[in-house]
Structure 1
Amino acid sequence: MPAETIDIRDIPPAKRHPTIHDAFAELDAGESLELINDHDPQPLFYEFDAEVDDFDADGYEVEQRGPGEFVARLPKE
């Protein structure tokens, strides 16, 4: 169960990654951030894997639920 869910489809693109990083930083260890996005967030995965020490890359999941709706779960170690 995610600690927080953010629908970033309505957030301007330039503010998406800072919003995601801020929300992830607020999580406790063992919690996850769930994102609803309009495209596959693969670049975000690589960014988190390279830059965020407490990102659990092995627990990352993404699911396409429909056209323009991808749901990703970013777990925190």
Structure 2
Amino acid sequence: MTQGSVTPVSTQEIYPFDARGVAKRFRHAAIFGALSALRSGETMRFLNDHDPLPLLSQIEGHYGEHVSISYVSREPGQIVIDFLVA
């Protein structure tokens, strides 16, 4: 992989974002930056250790209908959410 490039995890344009590896004070900014970098039809698959309900409210307020939120897994300690950009 070349520096600065990102490869989707499948042909469906799904890009992983593991928030568990990002310092807590930077997480929201990093997530918003990643969402802003996505193109229409692309998905960010978000992994976290807790259900980020306040973050989801912020995303809905900021992006509205341009980003859909869909849980893939809601198991305690293993939260997986797909953010699809319209």
Q: Do they fold alike, i.e. is TM over 0.5?
A: yes
Which runs of at least 4 in structure 1 moved beyond 6 Å after TM superposition? none
Greater relative contact order (CA < 8 Å, ≥ 6 in sequence): 1
Give distance in 1, aligned partners of 2:34 and 2:59.
13
1:4 aligns with 2:15: yes
Instruction: State the Cα RMSD in Å.
Output: 1.6
Query: How many residues get paired?
Result: 73
Residue in structure 2 matching 1:38, options 49, 67, 73: 49
2:67 corresponding residue in structure 1: 55
Report the TM-score, using the length of structure 1 for normalisation. Answer: 0.81
Identity among equivalent positions (%) equals: 26
SS of residue in 2 equivalent to 1:52: helix
- Consecutive unaligned residues of structure 2, counting only runs of 5 or more, are 1-11
Larger radius of gyration: 2
- Consecutive unaligned residues of structure 1, counting only runs of 5 or more, are none
